[in-house]
Amino acid sequence: MIQANRTERANGASLDVSDTRRAASTRPAPTFAPGRRHVLDLDDFSAREVEKVFQNADAMREVMNREIKKVPTLRGKTVITLFTEASTRTRVSFEQAGKILSADVINVSGSGSSVEKGESLYNTALTLQAMNADIIVIRHAHSGAPYFLARHLDACVINAGDGTHAHPTQALLDMYTMRSHFGRLDGLKVAIVGDILYSRVARSNLWGLTMMGANVTLCAPKTLIPPDMLNGRTGEDGHPFANVKIETDLERALDGADVVYALRLQMERQQAGHLPSLREYSKTYGISAERLRLANPNALVMHPGPMNEGVEIDSEVAHGSRSVIEEQVANGVAIRMALLYEVATPMRG
Ligand code: NCD
């Protein structure tokens, strides 16, 4: 597949993604669920689907590295990004992904649109539907908003973060980044540190990573761990999160970790009383160079952004040699291209 794409690049021709499909069809393994039209969370994904997204992202990364980053794959399709919450990376990467694939991309944000005038999500959605959107990428403060759109619209819906619930495209790009360094996810020791309670990123990563066989440790003060995870049963055989450990001691969580994944404190969602002070939090749970030494010497440092340097992560770690935070951003475009392609292409193999 890569060879075919290389030849095309040499000819200056566009990516024929059907090559990806043909090559994949000769192998039994990765496949996207036939008929999947939405990406809402990873809890309904299979490992084969995740592998298929990775496989397509490899091909998309090649397109991104071309001198002329443009292929006609989604020509004539309209992608609307509807973001009613702040975003830099996710929104821009969906826009870039759509544009590289030649889709028409229209960005709608909460401020400056009729959402500000009190329009309901339902009415906004009907308006977008009337404009014949093929794919709607939504970020919304309310958990479940993308599911609501998926129920009521004909368009494909991609969840770009809903409340505290899910952020599947972030988890896919995170796993893709880990896999590109270690060549596997199975057996990797991933420590996710920070505001687990309010983090949609942690939740989607938890589904994805455990499905792909990674061993996850969630580390936070007790007040930032979901109460149902504090009962000590996540690590038990038969539990859906049998590979998940809960840890309130950062040193223990980092011990031998292959990936140290720091999370921002989601102050915009937290109610008062979770932490005595930011200073104390950072002293106890901030990822410093000294603490990073407890992890595997080749450990990756990751963060979904935006970072609050000096709080959950020290600047020297965030920009240090183990950090792959910018790689996450670049991989985010490839993963979103792969997903836009998959949901918009009705015949998949
Ligand atoms: C995350 C989000 O919005 O959930 N950021 C992102 O998408 N890159 C995490 C965060 O805001 O801290």
pLDDT in tens, 143-189: 999 999 999 999 999 999 999 999 999 999 999 999 999 999 999 99
Question: Residue 113 Cα, ligand 1 centroid: separation in angstroms?
Answer: 22
Q: Determine whether the shortest distance from the Cβ of 169 to ligand 1 is under 6 A.
A: no
Which mutation among 83, 139, 167 tests ligand 1's pocket best, with the greatest number of atoms within 8 A of CB?
167
What percentage of the chain reaches a pLDDT higher than 70? 91
pLDDT of 349 strictly over 50 = no
Please state, in angstroms and rounded to a whole number, the distance separating the CA atoms of residues 223 and 175: 27
Give the pLDDT score at 347.
Answer: 54
Enter the pTM of the model. Answer: 0.90
Give the pLDDT score at 129.
Answer: 87
Which mutation among 87, 201, 266 tests ligand 1's pocket best, with the greatest number of atoms within 8 A of CB?
201
Q: What is the pLDDT of residues 200-253, one digit of tens each?
A: 999 999 999 999 999 999 999 999 999 888 877 787 888 778 889 999 999 999
Q: Determine whether the shortest distance from the Cβ of 331 to ligand 1 is under 6 A.
A: no
Distances (CA, A) of 332 to 61, 225, 244: 10, 27, 25
Taking the CA of residue 304 as reference, the ligand 1 atom at the shortest distance is 8
Alpha helix stretches (DSSP H) within the chain = 2-11, 17-25, 47-64, 89-100, 121-130, 145-152, 168-182, 200-211, 250-254, 278-285, 289-292, 315-318, 325-344
Please state, in angstroms and rounded to a whole number, the distance separating the CA atoms of residues 63 and 191: 32
Question: Residue 204 Cα, ligand 1 centroid: separation in angstroms?
Answer: 12
The residue with greater pLDDT, 343 or 234, is: 343
The residue with greater pLDDT, 178 or 270, is: 178
Give the pLDDT score at 331.
Answer: 98
Q: Determine whether the shortest distance from the Cβ of 89 to ligand 1 is under 6 A.
A: yes
Give the pLDDT score at 70.
Answer: 97
Q: Determine whether the shortest distance from the Cβ of 170 to ligand 1 is under 6 A.
A: yes
Give the pLDDT score at 345.
Answer: 83
Taking the CA of residue 86 as reference, the ligand 1 atom at the shortest distance is 3
Band of the pLDDT at 29, cuts 50, 70, 90? low
Question: Residue 344 Cα, ligand 1 centroid: separation in angstroms?
Answer: 25
Average pLDDT over residues 11-20: 39
Band of the pLDDT at 25, cuts 50, 70, 90? very low
The residue with greater pLDDT, 274 or 11, is: 274
What percentage of the chain reaches a pLDDT higher than 90? 74
Nearest CA to ligand 1 atom 1: 304
Question: Residue 6 Cα, ligand 1 centroid: separation in angstroms?
Answer: 34
Question: Residue 86 Cα, ligand 1 centroid: separation in angstroms?
Answer: 9
Question: Residue 128 Cα, ligand 1 centroid: separation in angstroms?
Answer: 25
Give the pLDDT score at 145.
Answer: 96
Identify the DSSP state of 15. P
Taking the CA of residue 263 as reference, the ligand 1 atom at the shortest distance is 12
Please state, as a whole number, how many other Cβ atoms lie within 10 Å of the Cβ of residue 270.
15
Burial label, 172 (beta-carbon count in 10 A; 0-12, 13-18, 19+): buried
Mean pLDDT of the chain: 89
Query: Which of 31-35, 193-197, 342-346 has the lowest average pLDDT?
Result: 31-35
pLDDT of 110 strictly over 80 = yes
Phi, psi angle pair for 262, to nearest 5°: -95, 145
Question: Residue 306 Cα, ligand 1 centroid: separation in angstroms?
Answer: 7
Query: Which of 21-25, 72-76, 125-129, 298-302 has the lowest average pLDDT?
Result: 21-25
Question: Residue 64 Cα, ligand 1 centroid: separation in angstroms?
Answer: 23
Q: Which amino acid is at 243?
A: N
pLDDT of 23 strictly over 50 = no
Give the pLDDT score at 231.
Answer: 79
The residue with greater pLDDT, 185 or 116, is: 185
